[in-house]
Amino acid sequence: MSTQVKIQELTAELKQHNYNYYVLANTTISDQSFDMKMKELEKLEMAFPQFADANSPTKQVGGDITKNFNTVPHSTRMLSLGNTYNKEELLDFDVRVAKLNGGNAYQYTAELKFDGFAIALRYKEGKLVQAITRGDGTQGDDVTSNVKTVKSIPHQLKGDFPESMEVRGEMFIHKAAFVKMNKDRAAKGEDLYKNPRNTAAGTIKLQDSSEVAKRPLDAFLYQLVEHGNEELSHWDSLSQMRQYGLPVNDATKLCDGIEDVWGFIEYWDKERKNLSFEIDGVVIKVNSRLQQEEMGFTSKFPRWAMSYKFETEQAESKLLSITYQVGRTGAVTPVANLEPMQLLGTTVKRASLHNADFIAQLDVRVGDTVFVEKGGEIIPKIVKVDTSAREAGSLPTLFTITCPECETILERPEGDVVYRCPNVDGCPPQIKGRIEHFISRKAMDVDSLGEGKIDVLYQSGLVKRAADLYALTQENMLGLSKAIINEESGDERVVSFKEKTVENILDGVQKSKSQPFEQVLFALGVRFVGETVAKKLAFHFKNIDALMAADFEELNGVSEIGSVIAKSVIDYFEIEANRVEIDLLKAEGLIFEVVEKELSSNALDGAKIVVSGVFTRFSRNELKSLIEDNGGKNVSSISKSTSFIIAGDSMGPAKKEKAEKLGVRMITEDEFAIMLEGS
């Protein structure tokens, strides 16, 4: 037998064993035999690399070093789901689904909601070519090298797979594996991980894939996104994914009605404790993909899906003290410091008390026995006080009247629920908070900096405002260091500016100069101007000078910009320090005007177009790209302002009826192509 054939046979055999073990949960070889075969393959590939499979099982031990993760756009948005905690809202969801389907029959699929982090996997000719994190839903990080170390994710698909395909799912760590990880760390005297979900999410962003390979990441995939068959139902797509060798959880059910869904929810609410992994609810989806397309999306969620969240666990603790935190906008938030307790696998020592009104309504006092839960199973919060256990002589809590950082007298603007520190330019947490916001991913995206490094740069006097970042040099940063104490755990770590760290910071700051105007505007931190509002303002006014010159009526007249935002924008630009900051950033070369995308033509010039149905000549995404490239706007719902509809096969009867009622023209994809050809 030739060496090449031997490598091919070992590769195929080990891939099959991995598939049997990680996907089918069926062990077909002893660990010792598997390891011996793996070592044999490693030796052969090392001696004859020209014969090694690009997706060899040996590649799942990692080794690639990633200095910076590339940002990759998603093929379609990775949206969140609307959620509910009660049956009534689930029934309301069913009523909406029935209405949107115009009286047509429909089914649901019910699936477990895994408590992990989302991932998108792209396959070309059956080979895994890219893995992308959720990111902001529009774009995410390319973590392909790390994901290739996860043994349950196949590098090569099985069966009759399409030429190009994308699947999405959730990555996680099993409960027992997490416990073992912490036992091993405790034995070495290392800090323990907080919980499985955060550990899994942190693992996938490690720069060394060989370290990722040492951690027991696993995955379940639950959505087939791109595969060329838009008529395939969601339930059938799950079956198809299993045939391709992808890990799909078996706890799914095809349901004929919402009561059937409810039975599935009740069952898993009781049984979830017996699972080897964490879940926090059940996901319900309309089964027909064509019906999904017709129902469409809101700006945040698909209208055809809902997550039912299980009631969270509560834990009892003692309130030891109340301290206060100051945010970048000056808002002062009270924090409850608690006796440590376990809640959903996490050690909890602190919880939010929201604001002064919340403290007064709950009448929570130092020394009280309190009940804590995780809001959305993420942020701990106090929900109840056991007043029967309150000690005699206990006094009501008085909210602080001065800033805990700079001792300025706090203010509570009329109609506001929070107290604020008015010392905008002299309160350290506000200054550092604004800089941290400025460098954040959705703003200037300087990923080589973080809270700890910003603190060191601030304390050293090098950075007092965002513009100072662009004056940093290797000489004034090299050698800086400071011990940082984690308020949650009490652990101490040293932040030091070594040569490579400084080089990465300077490189990140320089790269940030290429961020588009809408991100720069968001980075400025104007109150109430979030990511979406920043985009609307940027694309409406086109440049910072026009925005600064706009009066209240002009701002208030922009779509979805109300009076509160308009006033906030005006107030921001009236402050001289803010105008000076913008001038300094302009001088550093930041982009303060919209760079218009070059269009193929203006044939559609602002036309609002709906794409509906199934097409043969173009994909839906191709049609939408053509609309934008020729000056049109994609809209999801039909109204009087809709210019026309590109109607494919199986267009929903409800949409068709509405179009006819409003007199909106419907054209075929061929007619649309002719329209563009004649431009």
User: Is the distance from CB of 140 to CB of 78 less than 8 angstroms?
Assistant: yes
Q: For 147-198, what is each residue's pLDDT tens digit?
A: 999 989 999 999 889 888 999 999 999 988 988 888 887 776 666 777 788 8
* Mean pLDDT (the chain, rounded): 87
Q: For 270-285, what is each residue's pLDDT tens digit?
A: 898 889 998 989 999 9
The pLDDT value given to residue 584: 96
What is the rounded average pLDDT of the residues 392-399? 93
Question: Where is 201: in which H helix or E strand?
Answer: helix 196-203
**C-alpha span between 523 and 509 (Å, rounded):** 13
User: Is the distance from CB of 318 to CB of 390 less than 8 angstroms?
Assistant: no
101-105, 506-510, 570-574: lowest mean pLDDT where? 101-105
Half-sphere exposure for 565 (CA within 13 Å, toward CB): 19
Q: Which letter does DSSP use for residue 534 in this model?
A: H
The pLDDT value given to residue 654: 75
Q: Where are the beta strands (DSSP E) in 275-378?
A: 279-286, 305-309, 314-326, 332-343, 346-352, 369-375
With 0.85 as the threshold, say if the pTM is over it: no
What is the rounded average pLDDT of the residues 540-565? 90
Q: For 575-633, what is each residue's pLDDT tens digit?
A: 999 999 999 999 999 999 998 777 778 889 888 999 988 788 888 778 888 998 888 88
Give the pair of three-digit tokens for residue 579. Answer: 């105008």
**C-alpha span between 361 and 396 (Å, rounded):** 11
What domains can be seen in the chain, in order of their start residue? 3-61 (1.10.287.610), 72-309 (3.30.470.30), 313-423 (2.40.50.140), 428-514 (1.10.150.20), 517-587 (1.10.150.20), 608-677 (3.40.50.10190)
The pLDDT value given to residue 255: 96
Q: How many CB atoms lie within 10 A of CB 649?
A: 13
Give the pair of three-digit tokens for residue 326. Answer: 């100051």
Q: Is 183 a catalytic residue?
A: no
Q: Where are the beta strands (DSSP E) in 91-245?
A: 108-114, 117-124, 127-133, 139-141, 164-173, 217-226
**C-alpha span between 168 and 225 (Å, rounded):** 7
Residue 116 has pLDDT above 70, yes or no: yes
CA dihedral 221, 223, 227, 230 (to 10 degrees): 160
The pLDDT value given to residue 191: 65
Q: For 1-52, what is each residue's pLDDT tens digit?
A: 788 888 888 888 887 776 665 445 455 665 556 667 777 888 888 888 888 8
Q: How many CB atoms lie within 10 A of CB 566?
A: 20
Residues in the chain: 679
Burial bucket for residue 201 (CB in 10 Å: 0-12, 13-18, 19+): middle
Selecting among 59, 113, 148, 285, the annotated active-site residue is 113
The pLDDT value given to residue 336: 95
Residue 69: CB partners within 8 Å, gap ≥ 6? 141, 142, 143, 205
Residue 262 has pLDDT above 80, yes or no: yes
